[in-house]
Amino acid sequence: MTPESVINFGQQALYIAMLIGAPLLLTALAVGLIIGMVQAATQINEQTLSFIPKLIAMSLVLVVAGNLLLMNSGSYTMAFVAVIIIGLGLAAGFPVILGYVGQLYRELSGTAFSISLVIALIGNTLLNYLFGYISREF
């Protein structure tokens, strides 16, 4: 390996890292800026108010990026990576929803958690069927 090829390899690695990280970082920046302006205008200083919207927005970006990669994947490996990215995007949703439901309905938390779990289990069943259909058809 020549020094030029090592430098070229390093430049390509940094470029790919920028392409992967930029959508997530820009989403977190935009949502944080909007939430910060709303907090400054309303003088609400709640710390969780900025965290949950950022988490949800970044999860949605991961799901969209994974779906785009899945639609444009040309090999089994890229499709596998796309499904992993989609899973990472969807993984943050359920704990956030359970935490939100627990805060919102404190006196009815058992019933609210039961309804949330039923919705999640139905969604999981349908998602498994959907992925089976996609893998069979495409």
| pLDDT band of 47, cuts 50, 70, 90 | confident
Look at residue 30 and tell me whether its pLDDT is greater than 90: yes
How many other C-beta atoms can be found within 10 angstroms of the C-beta atom of residue 131? Answer: 12
Tell me the percentage of the chain whose pLDDT exceeds 70.
Answer: 99
Q: Give the range of the structural domain holding residue 74, as residue numbers without chain letter.
A: 3-137
Look at residue 138 and tell me whether its pLDDT is greater than 80: no
Higher pLDDT, 125 or 50: 125
Q: State residue 128's pLDDT score.
A: 85
